[in-house]
Structure formats: structure tokens, C-alpha cells
Amino acid sequence: MAPKSVATTILTCALVAMLVGCKSYVIDFEGKLPDGTVLAPKLTTPPLEPPIPLEGSTDVAFMDSTTAQLEGCRVITNIRLAYQGDFEDGIVKLRNTAIQVNANRMIPLRLVESRQPSQAPHHLSAKMVRCPNTDGVISNG
């Protein structure tokens, strides 16, 4: 056999093996097929309970990085959050996280509101920073 025909034969056998090994599923969303012939569609999950704001989380504000540098703020950590639910609830979770890591300001890096929140999560990313009070002292609370 010629090398070209050997390669074609191997590729054909591999394709047939992949197709034979695959299982195909049909999901009947409209309920028109007989029982037992298809997989049932996924059940919808109940909506998430909105997060409860922690004490002091409403005081956590967004700021830009230039202002943070000028005011002597220090970066504590970066937070990335994917939240399935209302965008405002995602912001509450982000502020709650800031309180938990002892940050009093956030520098937004990426805030993406999903067009279809029931199907795709919102993506929130921010730097958590601790800024000094007006007297220049960084406090713990």
C-alpha cells in the first residue's frame, strides 16, 4: 500500500471508532416524545437568596487607582467573583468580601453585567485596598 492510502485508512478507522464510541442524547423540551425514550431536561434551580450586607459594607466605596496612590492606600488583595443572580447582589457580595479582608475601598478592575443573568454569571473583579483615615492613620475598623 502507498503511504497516502495507509494514512487515509488509519484516519478513517479512527473516525469510525470515535463515532461508534459516542452516545447521542435527545432532550425533549416540549414533551412530544414517548416516555422513556429521552433524557429529562434539567430542573431549573430556585433563585438564590440575596446576600445580606455585612455591617459596614455599605461604607466600602469604589475609587480609581490614581486616587488610591495619592491617598496612601495599600492593596490588600485582588478578588475575582462570578455571581449568578442580580448584578446588585454581586456588588453586595463584593463589598462583603472587602469587609472580610479588612478593606475599606475597592478599585474596580472588571465589572461585567451579564445580559442573561439566568444563563451566564456576572464577572466582578476588584483590588481590595485599605486607605488611611483623614488624619493619615490606617485603622483596623
Is 3's pLDDT higher than 70? no
pLDDT tens, 108-121?
999 999 887 677 89
Q: What is the CATH number of the domain that holds 65?
A: 3.30.1660.10
In a domain, 101, yes or no: yes
In a domain, 124, yes or no: yes
What residues make up the domain containing 70?
Answer: 57-130
In a domain, 17, yes or no: no
pLDDT tens, 38-95?
555 555 666 678 899 999 999 999 999 999 999 999 999 999 999 888 899 999 999 9
In the sheet that 122-130 helps form, which strands lie side by side, from edge to edge?
61-62, 105-112, 122-130, 74-83
- pLDDT value, residue 102: 94
- The answer to whether the predicted template modeling score (pTM) of the entire model surpasses 0.75 is no
Distance separating alpha carbons of residues 63 and 107, to the nearest angstrom = 5
In a domain, 80, yes or no: yes
**Of 13-17, 82-86, 93-97, 131-135, which one has max mean pLDDT?**
93-97
In a domain, 92, yes or no: yes
Distance separating alpha carbons of residues 107 and 117, to the nearest angstrom = 24
Distance separating alpha carbons of residues 129 and 100, to the nearest angstrom = 12
In a domain, 67, yes or no: yes
Q: How many domains does the chain have?
A: 1
Kindly report the number of other CB atoms within 10 A of residue 10's CB atom. Answer: 10
Contact by Cβ (8 Å): 90, 124? yes
Residue bearing the bigger pLDDT, 109 or 9: 109
In a domain, 73, yes or no: yes
In a domain, 9, yes or no: no
- pLDDT value, residue 98: 95
